[in-house]
Amino acid sequence: MKLLIVEDEPALITSLVSYLQGQHYVCEVASTFADAQEKMLLYDYDCILLDLTLPGGDGLDLLRELQRQRKANGVIITSARNAVEDRITGLHLGADDYLPKPFYLPELSARVAALVRRRHYNGSNLIQAHALTVDVLARTASVAEKPLTLTRTEFDLLLLLLANQGRVIAKGAIAEHLSGDAAEQFDTYETVYAHVKNLKRKLTEVGAADYIRTVYGIGYRFEPGAAA
């Protein structure tokens, strides 16, 4: 799962990135209004943690821009601006939640997880696709009750595919989702090919069908209709 942290306090940024990466999230950071606007419009995120008071602009204007562009990113406002009017405006502009500063990092993580469940997995921790069962919270997977041993990146790739069942995901989108800003350092998608190949192999080894289909020249699609 990929997050964008829009925040300008260096100490808080360090704490957020350290904690959330420990919770298996890929984290990108934008510390100014302009940086946040560029990232939010160019890329997709499972959740954006949005401070309202930013160098160069107001976070509520970023929400307005997301609304104009019909971007479907989940948004949790994290702000010291505790006015009721700001909360109401933010929620009307499409924010999913509002967590006033100061907050506890475990509570923030729980709210992020809840938002991701609501938006991608119908509010459940368990995802079922024929013989495949994935527990999002426990980060475990099995096929017909046979455990599926995955690396962190392979599990994140599986979640991405499951959240977009039936839709083609471009190789570039997969690379950016799994690696965040680091994806721009690579000229090829060899890492994506390797992760997909390993995930397909591990699924097959425990008896799963060929759920992951290659769309040549574009990317990959998870076919929920494939039967084991």
CATH superfamily of 2-120: Response regulator (3.40.50.2300)
Helices (H) and strands (E) in the chain, counts: 8, 14
What architecture does CATH give domain 126-222?
Orthogonal Bundle (1.10)
SS3 17: helix
pLDDT in tens, the chain (228 residues): 789 999 999 999 999 999 999 888 889 999 999 999 999 988 888 899 999 999 999 999 999 999 888 887 889 999 887 778 888 898 899 899 999 888 999 999 989 988 888 877 766 778 888 889 999 878 899 998 899 999 988 998 998 888 888 888 888 888 887 876 555 555 567 888 999 999 999 999 998 888 899 998 889 999 876 544
Task: Tell me the domain boundaries of the chain.
Answer: 2-120, 126-222
Determine if the pTM surpasses 0.85. Answer: no
- Whether 2-120 and 126-222 share one fold: the answer is no
